[in-house]
Structure 1
């Protein structure tokens, strides 16, 4: 990351930390946040920054497939905030009465990419190779947002002469496992337990040293909208809304962009914000157009194998605390 970018991010964090605070948190105050698995790294860093502005807050995360989280919420699981990887699972929770209509906001966008092990034993170099007999393909279950988006990609490709009408069926015959969430697909591919998988671009960045990627062209891809909302019966509604405001504010958006997500402003300007609750929460200011990760959301239309560039981690290891948040308490549950 260039020095000027680091300075800009630091300045944004200072402004947003002052804006998105609800004052001294009550002793023992905590939030339980249900969030899609693809958000785990970005949200863990957001929790550290948010807690730095709200002393004494404990953030409890439950990460998992959006459909699993929605089911848990509609079964009555206690929570304060829900962040989904698509609008349909947010709608499930809305219909279940756990979220009030009009309180949800799109806060990030993502897109698909094909990943293969770094040594690429199956010699996969184009999207056409996914249909080759003998390829071991890993997909997320269709009930998971990324799983449905993967099927949408195959359907779009199958109506194009360059792929042929049998492309989708041929690819699906190669599926050896349907996983519960996108991180399971990524992990198995990185470990060599499959020849290829379809994940989000943000997930691919996490395993830059162990995978290579094949970009999916814009016309075949899906831009996934991520909505967030407070739970209607939250035990701490003011703090829950403050967390959402923080995610939508410059500090939260900068962290999401750092991890490869497309921010709300860029999505609007690019014209692919349809279908996903594009509203901004008030109270923490507008989101700036800030690019810390180049090329996010710009698929290579040649769709050939490229090595995944190492993701900048800003000098922090996973779970390490940022400056000013040494007392942050963070508990992570893996759904």
Structure 2
């Protein structure tokens, strides 16, 4: 074999080795790329899994949130098939006591920061104010007694009911009375705002100091009377996810709905104001 032939053969061998190396590197790169894609796919799947919620979410909420939260609960179940929202509505103080005593709950929505603090000190994260509410006087339909101010409720001829002083609506009423420099002795103190309102609805009382949202929810069963001192007793409503929530994913998703534009539309439509 001539020197020229040997040189040509050697060059061909080197070229072949180079091509093989490039092919091997390309295969390795493709394998790595496929591995990365698989990892990305897994991550995406994991993220999608974390976004998907299911099961029951237990929400403890102030009685004044009954109508708006019930509507949002239906929306939540529709948006998240396979979920069920179970509500426990009542006086914020009694709900807080239940939670701190071990009642299973995922979310707590209170009618006042003071009541919320009872829970956050023991068993919750950082709360956030999601709406505000103010007081209004609920009278019998047509306002037959001509109530036009908070002072009118102090007359001996009217049967007036208030929320208990330990619950937010009662504490707010006392604050408004103090701002007006008035003293009022009700015929009864009720455990929550719905109970106070029902006294008027059932005509067992002539008037009650409740929230504007409750007057609105009652429709033509009562008539609402605004009074300026209510501006001195506006209640912030905080909401929080409980630390030991049995279904924290669903609880967080429900809170997101409440604070979303969609949730705020429902709440402000019910008479609440944005924080």
TM-score (norm 2): 0.79
Q: Which residue of 2 aligns with 1:130?
A: 153
CA drift of 1:221 comes to: 3.5
CA drift of 1:22 comes to: 5.7
- Are 1:25 and 2:36 matched, yes or no? no
CA drift of 1:25 comes to: 3.3
- Are 1:56 and 2:82 matched, yes or no? yes
Q: Which residue of 1 aligns with 2:227?
A: 216
In the alignment, the residues of structure 1 paired with residue 157 and residue 62 of structure 2 have an alpha-carbon distance, to the nearest angstrom, of 32
- Are 1:199 and 2:227 matched, yes or no? no
CA drift of 1:254 comes to: 0.8
In the alignment, the residues of structure 1 paired with residue 190 and residue 79 of structure 2 have an alpha-carbon distance, to the nearest angstrom, of 37
Contact 2:53 2:249 in 1 (8 A): no
In the alignment, the residues of structure 2 paired with residue 128 and residue 226 of structure 1 have an alpha-carbon distance, to the nearest angstrom, of 27
TM-score (norm 1): 0.65
| One of 152, 163, 171 as aligned partner of 1:148 | 171
Point out the structure with max Rg over C-alpha.
Answer: 2
1:51-84 deviation digits (Å, cap 9, x = unpaired)? 2221110111000000000000010101100000
1:186-211 deviation digits (Å, cap 9, x = unpaired)? 11112211111100000000122121
The answer to which structure has the higher helix fraction is 2
**How many residues are treated as equivalent by the alignment?**
227
- Structure ranking higher on relative contact order (CA contacts 8 Å, 6+ apart): 1
Distance 1:44 1:205, change over 3 A: same
- Are 1:243 and 2:269 matched, yes or no? no
In the alignment, the residues of structure 2 paired with residue 46 and residue 219 of structure 1 have an alpha-carbon distance, to the nearest angstrom, of 27
- Are 1:68 and 2:79 matched, yes or no? no
Worse-matched range after superposition: 61-70 or 183-192: 183-192
SS at match of 1:78: coil
Contact 1:32 1:79 in 2 (8 A): yes
The unaligned stretches of length 5 or more in structure 1 are 1-20, 159-166, 265-335
1:82-93 equivalent positions in 2, closer than 5 A: 82-93=108-119
Q: Which residue of 2 aligns with 1:94?
A: 120
Q: Which residue of 2 aligns with 1:320?
A: none
Contact 2:113 2:238 in 1 (8 A): yes
CA drift of 1:219 comes to: 6.8
Contact 1:36 1:63 in 2 (8 A): yes
RMSD: 1.6
SS at match of 1:58: strand
Distance 1:22 1:185, change over 3 A: farther
Q: Which residue of 2 aligns with 1:226?
A: 237
Q: Structure 1 runs of 4+ off > 6 angstroms? A: none
Q: Which residue of 2 aligns with 1:139?
A: 162
| One of 193, 204, 225 as aligned partner of 1:182 | 193
Contact 1:136 1:194 in 2 (8 A): yes
SS at match of 1:188: helix
The unaligned stretches of length 5 or more in structure 2 are 1-48
Worse-matched range after superposition: 141-150 or 121-130: 121-130
